[in-house]
Amino acid sequence: MRALALVGAGALLLVPPGHAALMLAVVGVIGGATFLTQTYRDAALFARLPAGEGTADLYSAVQTLTLLCSIPAAGLAGLVFAASPRGLFALIALLCVALLVLAAGLARRETRAATPA
C-alpha cells in the first residue's frame, strides 16, 4: 500500500503541466493508497487489542492522534510547496519510503516472533 503511494508521489513529479486528467488520476492513486493504509492500520490495531472494555476508547485515541497530526501537516506542506513545489513531492516520496521500510521491519519482526524456536 505504501509502495503504491510511493509510485503515486513519484508519478506526480512526472506529470507535465496542463494535464489535469492525468494529475487527477495520479492523485486518485495516492488517495486510494492512503485509504488502504488507514484501513490496514485499523485492522492491525484491532487484531492486537485485548477483547473487552476500553477498545473503543483506544480506537478513539488513535483517530484523535491521527487528526492532531494531520492538522499541522497541511500548513507544513504549504510552506514546503511555497519554497519548492517539487520538494514537497520529493518529501512525500521520502516519507512513503520511510513508512515502507518501517512496515517491512515490523513485519519481519512479527514473523520472527511467530516462528517457534
- pLDDT tens digits for range 9-53: 777 777 788 888 888 888 888 788 778 877 877 777 777 777 777
CB atoms within 10 A of CB 62: 14
Contacts of 17 (CB under 8 A, 6+ apart): none
pTM above the 0.75 mark?
Answer: no
Pair 23, 12: CB distance under 8 Å? yes
C-alpha cell at 60: 478513539
pLDDT of residue 82: 95
Per DSSP, helices labelled H in the chain are 2-14, 20-48, 55-83, 85-114
Share of the chain above pLDDT 70, in %: 94
pLDDT of residue 1: 59
Contacts of 59 (CB under 8 A, 6+ apart): 42, 45, 46
CB atoms within 10 A of CB 29: 16
For the cut 70, the answer to whether the pLDDT of residue 88 exceeds it is yes
Number of residues that this document lists for the chain: 117
More confident: 52 or 2: 52
For the cut 90, the answer to whether the pLDDT of residue 80 exceeds it is yes
pLDDT of residue 2: 63
